[in-house]
Amino acid sequence: MYKRTFKISFRDAGGGLWYCLSTQHNMQAHVAMAAVVLVVSWLLKLTRPEWGLVLFAISFVVVAEMINTAIEKTVDLFVNTYHPLARLAKHIAAGAVLVAALNAVAVGVLVFLPHLQTIWRLVVGG
């Protein structure tokens, strides 16, 4: 019997990530936004706990998008014509991405707002 090695499993997982990055527009948008957030995080010199929150929020969105893609591809594999349950499965998966993205926005507000308020006070003098 064929035994998968860790190296092969890791390669296949990387292939799945690459597929999502190279074919899914929403994943590309999430990664672009994540890059901006990471640069801003670095410029603001976030604390370690703040970095942890930001990285977890980014990862949560990426994982949700990948699960959404997997669900969409699985539904497409088994359903050739319109079916209300297939539509519902896709909408629920997309809703999960929305929840993850809203969580990331909330984390962004909680983490970045105090830093931006401090900068605002320094610039405006308030």
**Does the annotation mark 50 as catalytic?**
no
Question: Can you tell me the distance from the alpha carbon of 101 to that of 110, in angstroms, rounded to the nearest whole number?
Answer: 14
Q: Which of 34, 50, 64, 65 is catalytic?
A: 65
Tokens of 1: 């019997």
CB atoms within 10 A of CB 104: 24
Question: Can you tell me the distance from the alpha carbon of 109 to that of 122, in angstroms, rounded to the nearest whole number?
Answer: 19
Q: So which residues are the catalytic ones?
A: 65
